[in-house]
Amino acid sequence: MNIYIGSDHAGYSLKNKLKVYLEDFGYLVEDKGAYSLDETDDYPDFIIPVAEAVAEDKESLGIVIGGSGQGEEMAANKVDGIRACEYYGGNLEIVKLAREHNDANILSLGARFMTEDEAKDAVKIFLETKFSGDERHIRRINKIEEGNN
């Protein structure tokens, strides 16, 4: 499975650590930037390319990282076909439910609100949890998608 990953300056360090973590598990990781630490960069420049790649490659997933993860989630969700969820610490059940119930295809992480280990735990759950495929969840996702047209 391809994993697309991107971050701004606030998520840059965590992104680089997560790339190694993912590659160690055998995932193919494509980094959409940032490629250097630049405190003046703008997260949409890196997050939108991740979202576009995931939307095009239906079998892939994405991980985007910023300070809070909020703007990154909003930017990703502007791309048709994307269902980004956010995690910034706390109960990991929310990540599992985002995959099981909403077929989330991008995980947005708030680097300033979690440890590296918490981020790794969230990524592991996100990648290992499958969409339930329940009719009620499919119906709801279809309603979301119809709203984008």
What the block records as the tokens of 90 is 């706390």
Annotation marks residue 137 as catalytic: no
What the block records as the tokens of 36 is 């250097």
Buried b / exposed e over 67-98, threshold 16 CB at 10 Å, is: bbbebbbebbbebeebbbbbbbeeeeeebeeb
The sign of the CA dihedral 4, 92, 17, 69 is positive
| Catalytic position from the list 23, 30, 86, 101 | 101
| Catalytic position from the list 72, 93, 128, 146 | 72
Residue whose token pair is 């991980």: 63
Where in the sequence numbering do the catalytic residues fall? 72, 101
